C-alpha cells in the first residue's frame, strides 16, 4: 500500500476507533486478541458427510468462535440454490461440448460455498466473485443467461454490476479483491451501511494483490469479508507447493484481522460462519478472512486434463463429502424436506437449465464496429481510421456477395 501526500496514513486519532472496535469484540467474546484473530483449532463443521447434525463438542467451536444454527427458512433456500447450482454446472459443461459456450470453469462440488456467499449478504451489500463463481452470481439474483454471457465469449459481462451489486467475473487472478476493497473504502467514506464479500481461491493467496487487498482493508478498517475457497489446486499446483502455513485462515492474524476455517461442503456451517463474519464487519469490527475447505470435482476448465495431476482415489474421497446429498439427508431427517418439496426444487432446476439452453442457443447479432465504439469516449484519430477501413472492407464484401455470379 502506497501512502501519498494527498492520501496520508491514518494518524493516532484515526486508528483508535478501529482498535476500540477490535477490543470491543474481544471483550464481548471474553477472549484474548490472539484468540479472536486466530482461527479455531479445528475447522467449523456442523453437519457431517452422512447428513448428521454433530454435537456441539464436535463442531470445532471454542470460546469466541461459537456459531448458532441457521434458521430453517435460510437452510431451505440454501438447499434449493444448491440443487439449481449443480444442475447449472452440469448443463453448462454440456453447452461447452456443444460449442454454445467458449469455456466454463465448473464449480461442481463447491456449490455450498457459492450459495452461502450469496445468501449471507443483504440487498445493499456487494459480492465480488471469481471466474468460477457463476453459481454465486446467480444466487445473488442475476439472470442465468446474463450470468453466462461472458462465457459465451461476448465482449461484456452480461449484467449490470451496479444494479445487482455484483462485480464482473473476470479471468485475471485476485484483481477482484482490490476492487472489493475499493468499494468498501468508498462506502465507508460515504457513511453507507455496506459490507463487501470478496471471493478467491487458494491460488489467489499466492498473488501480491492478495497481500495488498488484505493489508489495505486492515489498515483502513474496512467492512470486507475475504472468502477463500480452498479447493486444493491452483489449476495443477497443489496447495502444499503454495503455502506451508497451518492454514490459509492463519494468514489473517498477520494483517491484524480475525480468521476462521470451515468445512466448505457443509452449507449449514458455511452459513453460520459467513453470517457472523458479515455481522461483525457491519458492526465495525473490521475485515475478516474465512477459509473454506472444499474440492473441485471436475477439471479446472474444459481445456484442462485433471487426470495429469491428481488421482481418481482423491476425487472419490471427496465425492463422499458431496454438499448436496449431505444437505438433503439432513433436511429430510428433520422433516423440512419431503418428496414433493424435492420434486419441486428439481423442477425449478430443470427450468433454469432449459432457460440456459434456449438463451445461449440464440444467435447474437454481431456488429464489428463495437470493436472501436467503447475504447474511448472520444475516439482517437487512429481508431477512426481503423473503423473506416473496416467499414470499407465490410461494404466491399457485401457488394461482392450481392453481385451476380
Q: Does the structure show a pLDDT above 90 at 128?
A: yes
Q: Does the structure show a pLDDT above 80 at 3?
A: no
Q: What is the mean pLDDT of residues 229-249?
A: 95
Q: What is the mean pLDDT of residues 36-56?
A: 96
- DSSP H helical ranges for 4-71: 12-29, 33-37
Q: What is the mean pLDDT of residues 32-40?
A: 92
What torsion do the CA atoms of 185, 1, 210, 14 make, to the nearest 10 degrees?
-40
Q: What is the pLDDT of residue 19?
A: 66
pLDDT digits (tens, 9 = 90+) for 347-389: 999 999 999 999 998 888 888 998 898 889 999 999 999 999 9
Within 8 A by CB and 6+ apart from 73, the residues are: none
Q: What is the pLDDT of residue 14?
A: 47
User: How far from 350 is each of 83, 343, 361, CA to CA, in Å?
Assistant: 10, 10, 16
Q: What is the pLDDT of residue 405?
A: 60
pTM for the structure as a whole: 0.90
Q: What is the pLDDT of residue 171?
A: 86
| C-alpha to C-alpha distance for 24 and 17, rounded to whole angstroms | 10
Using DSSP, state whether 233 is helix, strand or coil. Answer: strand
Q: What is the mean pLDDT of residues 43-66?
A: 96
Amino acid at each position: 500500500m502506497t501512502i501519498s501526500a494527498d492520501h496520508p496514513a491514518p494518524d493516532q486519532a484515526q486508528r483508535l476507533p478501529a482498535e476500540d472496535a477490535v477490543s470491543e469484540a474481544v471483550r464481548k467474546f471474553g477472549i484474548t486478541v490472539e484468540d479472536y484473530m486466530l482461527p479455531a483449532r479445528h475447522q467449523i463443521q456442523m453437519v457431517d458427510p452422512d447428513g448428521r447434525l454433530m454435537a456441539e463438542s464436535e463442531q470445532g467451536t471454542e470460546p469466541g468462535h461459537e456459531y448458532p444454527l441457521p434458521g430453517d427458512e435460510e437452510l431451505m433456500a440454501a438447499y434449493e440454490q444448491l440443487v439449481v447450482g449443480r444442475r447449472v454446472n452440469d448443463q453448462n459443461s454440456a453447452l461447452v461440448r456443444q460449442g454454445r459456450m467458449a469455456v466454463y470453469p465448473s464449480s461442481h462440488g463447491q456449490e455450498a460455498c457459492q450459495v452461502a456467499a450469496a445468501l449471507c449478504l443483504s440487498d445493499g451489500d456487494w459480492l465480488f466473485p471469481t471466474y468460477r463463481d457463476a453459481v454465486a452470481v446467480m444466487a445473488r439474483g442475476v439472470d442465468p443467461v446474463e450470468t453466462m454471457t461472458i462465457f459465451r465469449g461476448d465482449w461484456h459481462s452480461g449484467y449490470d454490476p451496479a444494479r445487482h451489486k455484483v462485480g464482473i467475473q473476470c479471468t485475471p487472478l485476485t484483481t477482484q479483491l482490490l476492487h472489493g476493497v475499493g468499494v468498501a473504502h468508498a462506502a465507508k467514506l460515504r457513511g453507507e451501511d455496506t459490507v463487501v464479500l470478496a471471493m478467491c481461491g487458494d491460488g489467489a493467496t499466492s498473488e501480491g494483490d492478495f497481500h495488498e487487498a488484505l493489508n489495505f482493508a486492515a489498515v483502513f478498517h474496512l467492512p470486507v469479508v475475504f472468502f477463500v475457497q480452498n479447493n486444493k489446486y491452483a489449476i495443477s499446483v497443489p496447495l502444499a507447493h503454495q503455502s506451508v502455513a497451518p492454514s490459509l485462515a492463519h494468514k489473517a492474524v498477520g494483517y491484524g484481522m480475525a480468521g476462521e476455517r470451515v468445512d466448505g461442503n457443509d452449507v449449514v456451517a458455511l452459513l453460520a460462519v459467513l453470517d457472523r463474519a458479515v455481522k461483525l464487519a457491519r458492526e465495525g469490527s473490521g475485515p475478516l478472512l474465512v477459509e473454506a475447505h472444499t474440492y473441485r470435482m471436475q477439471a479446472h476448465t474444459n481445456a484442462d486434463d485433471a487426470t495429469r495431476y491428481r488421482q481418481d482415489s482423491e476425487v472419490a474421497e471427496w465425492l463422499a463429502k458431496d454438499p448436496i446429498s449431505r444437505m438433503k439427508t439432513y433436511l429430510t431427517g428433520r422433516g423440512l424436506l419431503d418428496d414433493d418439496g424435492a420434486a419441486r426444487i428439481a423442477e425449478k432446476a430443470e427450468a433454469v437449465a432449459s432457460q440456459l439452453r434456449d438463451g445461449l442457443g440464440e444467435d447474437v447479432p454481431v456488429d464489428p464496429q463495437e470493436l472501436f465504439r467503447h475504447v474511448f469516449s472520444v475516439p482517437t484519430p487512429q481508431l477512426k481510421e481503423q473503423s473506416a477501413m473496416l467499414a470499407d472492407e465490410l461494404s466491399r464484401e457485401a457488394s461482392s456477395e450481392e453481385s451476380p455470379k
